[in-house]
Amino acid sequence: MVPQDYYIALSAILFTIGALGVLIRRNALIIFMSIEMMLNAANLAFVTFANTYQHLNGRIIAFFVIAVAAAEVAVGLALIVAIFKSKHSIDVDQMSSLKG
């Protein structure tokens, strides 16, 4: 069996990749995907820990998170679409009229 530390490490790596993705990418959709990746990294951690402690808790939490992520998608995509409609672009760097 793969030791649980590996899972945790994987989850940490995924989380970091996700976070860096947010920092590096300019496409709003990809940023959004990176955020989803961070959430799923957390999910992985939950499930791993649940396995360690032999609880259900962590797994159930993972389901909650998936549900929340779905809700976020709904809101997020709506926002992105609305912006694409008016700006014809989803490059976040073009959205910098508010600053200072």
Partner 1 sequence: MLFSEATTTSFFSLAPWLVFAPVIGLLINIIIGGRFSEKLIGAVASVASGATFIVSLLLAYSVWVGHGQGESIFLAEWIHVGSLSLDWTFRVDSLSTTMMLVVSGVGTLIHIYAIGYMHEDVRFKNDPSRFRRFFVFLNLFIAAMMILVSGDSYLMLFVGWEGVGLCSFLLIGFWFEMDTLARPSWANSNAAKKAFIVNRIGDLGFLIAGFLMFWYLGSLQFDEVFAAAPELADTQPGIIIAITLFLLVGVAGKSAQIPLFVWLPDAMAGPTPVSALIHAATMVTAGVYLIARSAPLYNLVEGAQSVVVIVGAATALFAATIAVGQYDIKKVLAYSTISQLGFMVAAVGMGAYVAGIFHLVTHAFFKALLFLSAGSVILGLERGHHLLAHAHNGGAADHDDEEEVRRTEPAEVFDPGDMRNMGGIRKTMPVTFWLYMIGSLALVGIIPFAGFWSKDEILLDASLKYPAVYWLLSTAAFFTAFYMGRQIWMVFFGTARHEAAANAQESPKIMTVPLMVLAGLSILGGLLNLPFKGFHNLGHWLEFTLGEVELLGLDPTVAGLSTLLALAAIFISWLLYGRVTLKQADRDPLKKPLGFVFTGMENKWFVDEAYKAMIVDRYTDVCRFLADVIDSRFWHDWFHEKLIVGTYNWFSNTGLNYYADQKIIDAFANGLGRTTKYLSASVRRIQNGFVRSYALSVFLGVVLILGYLILK
Partner 2 sequence: MPPINFNDIEVLLPLIILVIWACLLLLVDLFIPKKHKWLTALLAAFGLALTLGFTLSQLGSESNGFCATGKPSICMVVLDGFSVLVNALLLLTGLLGVALAYGYLKRMGIERGEYYTLMLFSISGMMLMAQASDLIIVFLALELLSLPLYVLSAFARSNSDSQEAGLKYFLLGAFSSGFILYGIALVYGATGSTSLSQIFEIASVGTSSLLLTIGAALILVGLGFKVAAVPFHMWTPDVYQGAPTPVTAFMTAGAKIAGFAALLRVFGSAFPNLSEDITPILWALSAATMIVGNLLAIAQTNIKRMLAYSSIAHTGYILMAFVPYGNPEVAPVSIAAGLFYLFAYTITNFGAWGVVIALEQKESKGLQISDYAGLRRKYPVLAGAMTVFMFSLIGFPPTLGMVGKFYLFRAVLSGGYTGLAIIGVVTSLVSAFYYLRVVVNMYMFAGEPKTDNEFWLRFTIAGAALVTVVFSLVPQGLFAWASRAVLKLF
Q: Which residues bind partner 2 (CB under 8 A)?
A: 8, 11, 15, 18-19, 22, 28, 31-32, 35, 38-39, 41-42, 45-46, 48-49, 52-53, 55, 57-58, 61, 64-65, 68, 71-72, 75-76, 78-80, 82-83, 86-87, 92, 95, 97-100
Among candidate residues 67, 65, 71, the one with its CA nearest the CA of residue 41: 65
Interacting residues of 75 by C-beta distance below 8 A, sequence separation 6+: none
- SS3 call for 1: coil
- Indicate which of partner 1, partner 2, none lies near residue 82 (CB less than 5 to 8 Å, by partner kind): partner 2
